[in-house]
Structure 1
Amino acid sequence: MIPTVVWGTGNVGRAAIRAVEAHPMLSLVAVLVSAPGKVGKDAGELSGLHRRLGVAATDDVDRVLAERPRAVVYAASGDVRPDGALEDIGRALRAGAVVVTPSVYGMYDCRNAPEEVRAPLLAAAEAGGGALFVSGVDPGWANDVLPLLVSGVGSEIDAIRCQEIFDYASYDQEDAVRHLIGMGHPLEYQPLMLAEGVPTMIWGGQVRLIARGLGVVLDDIDETLERRTLDTTVGTDTMGEFAAGTQGAVRLEVRGLVGGEPVIVVEHVTRIHPGCAPDWPLPPDGGAGAHRVIVEGRPRIEVTVEATDEGENRAAGGNATAVGRLVNAVDWLVAAGPGLYDALDVPLRPAVGRLGKPVQRTAAGRPGEV
Structure 2
Amino acid sequence: MIGTVVWGTGNCGRAAIRAVEAHPALRLAAVLVHDPGKVGMDAGELGGVGRELGVLATDEVEAVLATGPRAVVYAASGDTRPEGALADICRAIRAGAVVVTPALHTLYDHRSAPAELREPVLAAIQQGGGSLFVSGVDPGWANDVLPALLSGLGTTVQAIRCQEIFDYSSYDQPDAVRNLVGMGKPMDYQAPMLAPGVPTMVWGGQLRLIARALAAELEDVRETLERRQLERSVRSAAMGEFEAGTQGAVRFEVQGIVGGEPRIVVEHVTRIHPSCAPDWPTPPNQAGAHRVIIEGLPRIEVTVEATDEGGNASAGGNATAVGRLVGAIDWLAEAEPGLYDALDVPLRPVAGKLGRSPR
Q: Normalised by the size of structure 2, how large is the TM-score?
A: 0.98
C-alpha distance in structure 1 between counterparts of 2:196 and 2:187, whole Å: 15
CA shift digits 1:14-35 (9 cap, x unpaired): 0000000000010001000000
C-alpha distance in structure 2 between counterparts of 1:276 and 1:356, whole Å: 40
The match for 1:217 is 217
Offset of 1:92 from its aligned partner?
Answer: 0.2
The letter of the residue matching 1:298 is: L
The match for 2:205 is 205
Report matched runs for 1:1-370 at 5 Å.
1-285=1-285, 287-355=286-354
Structure 2: any 5+ residue segments left out of the alignment? none
C-alpha distance in structure 2 between counterparts of 1:182 and 1:122, whole Å: 35
C-alpha distance in structure 2 between counterparts of 1:348 and 1:185, whole Å: 39
C-alpha distance in structure 2 between counterparts of 1:141 and 1:129, whole Å: 26
3-state secondary structure, aligned to 2:5: strand
CA shift digits 1:142-189 (9 cap, x unpaired): 000000000010011100000000110000010000000000001111
Offset of 1:352 from its aligned partner?
Answer: 1.3
C-alpha distance in structure 1 between counterparts of 2:68 and 2:58, whole Å: 16
3-state secondary structure, aligned to 2:320: helix
The letter of the residue matching 1:140 is: G
C-alpha distance in structure 2 between counterparts of 1:23 and 1:116, whole Å: 35
C-alpha distance in structure 2 between counterparts of 1:314 and 1:278, whole Å: 19
C-alpha distance in structure 1 between counterparts of 2:103 and 2:171, whole Å: 18
3-state secondary structure, aligned to 1:117: helix
C-alpha distance in structure 2 between counterparts of 1:238 and 1:220, whole Å: 39
Q: Relative to 1, partners in 2 of residues 1:15 and 1:356: Cα closer, same or farther, differing over 3 Å?
A: closer
132-141 or 115-124, which deviates more? 115-124
The letter of the residue matching 2:203 is: W
Offset of 1:206 from its aligned partner?
Answer: 0.3
Identity %: 73
C-alpha distance in structure 1 between counterparts of 2:188 and 2:353, whole Å: 50
3-state secondary structure, aligned to 1:27: strand
CA shift digits 1:176-232 (9 cap, x unpaired): 000000000011110100000000000000000000000000110111011110000
C-alpha distance in structure 1 between counterparts of 2:201 and 2:111, whole Å: 15
C-alpha distance in structure 1 between counterparts of 2:98 and 2:166, whole Å: 31
C-alpha distance in structure 2 between counterparts of 1:187 and 1:209, whole Å: 34
Offset of 1:334 from its aligned partner?
Answer: 0.6
The letter of the residue matching 1:22 is: A
CA RMSD of aligned residues (A): 0.8
Offset of 1:114 from its aligned partner?
Answer: 1.5
Q: Normalised by the size of structure 1, how large is the TM-score?
A: 0.95
Structure 1: any 5+ residue segments left out of the alignment? 358-370
Offset of 1:9 from its aligned partner?
Answer: 0.2
Offset of 1:260 from its aligned partner?
Answer: 2.4
Poorly superposed stretches of 4+, deviation over 6 Å: none
C-alpha distance in structure 1 between counterparts of 2:179 and 2:112, whole Å: 29
Offset of 1:115 from its aligned partner?
Answer: 1.2
3-state secondary structure, aligned to 1:125: helix
Offset of 1:284 from its aligned partner?
Answer: 2.1
How many corresponding residue pairs? Answer: 356
The letter of the residue matching 2:50 is: H
